[in-house]
Amino acid sequence: GTVDGGPMHYLEIGLQQRGLPFLVAKLFGLVFALFCIGGSFGGGNMFQAWSVGDVTLKNFGVPSLFTGFVLAIICALVIIGGIKRIGHVAGTLVPFMCGIYLVAGLSVIIINIDIVPDMIALIFRSAFAPTEAEGAFLGAAAGTAFMWGMKRALFSNEAGQGSAPIA
């Protein structure tokens, strides 16, 4: 019923098998764990809590500190329950989130149904027809779009944080 492993554990064992002293191998596992904790708090939790707090303050007038406190309690209740509770909560929330996403996207399309043909025509016109945007402007626009897309893609799945191998 318990799990013993993860990169910090494998680093310690694997590096010892490769001939490194116990303390050096242990240090590598410890450094990985510390960096992963730092990435989780700084790159994930703090940014997400700030975003939710900012949105609830601007749209509903709820103080950000209160929102952060409520989020911390809810997260603690889930995490303290262990991997099984995390899996149960994720298994319950993810289908609900997908449904909200689909309904919201379809709502935007339905509300703006009268301009959908013009939008599709604009996409094809912009993709294939020559435009006045040339040179540096076009490159900067493409570069900016690419950067924002990569940021969103990487942030959405915690790429590079080191948490995936733990799971």
Residue-wise pLDDT tens digits, 96-149? 999 999 999 999 999 999 999 999 998 888 777 766 656 666 777 788 888 888
Q: Cα separation of 44 and 72, whole Å?
A: 13
**What pLDDT is stored for residue 132 in this prediction?**
61
Q: What is the pLDDT of residue 143?
A: 84
Alpha-carbon gap, residue 112 to 101, rounded angstroms: 17
- pLDDT above 70 covers what percent of the chain? 86
* pLDDT over 70 at 43, yes or no: no
pTM for the whole thing? 0.52
C-alpha–C-alpha distance, residues 126 and 87, integer Å: 44
Report the alpha-carbon distance of residue 51 to residue 35 in Å, rounded.
23
Of residues 2, 3, 20, the one with CA closest to residue 165 = 3
Determine the pLDDT at residue 79: 84
Of the listed ranges 12-21, 39-48, 74-83, 108-117, the least confidently predicted one is: 39-48
Distances (CA, A) of 77 to 82, 144, 166: 9, 39, 20
- pLDDT value at residue 107: 97
Q: Percentage of the chain with pLDDT > 90?
A: 39
- Report pLDDT for 145: 86
What is the predicted pLDDT for the residue at 27? 94
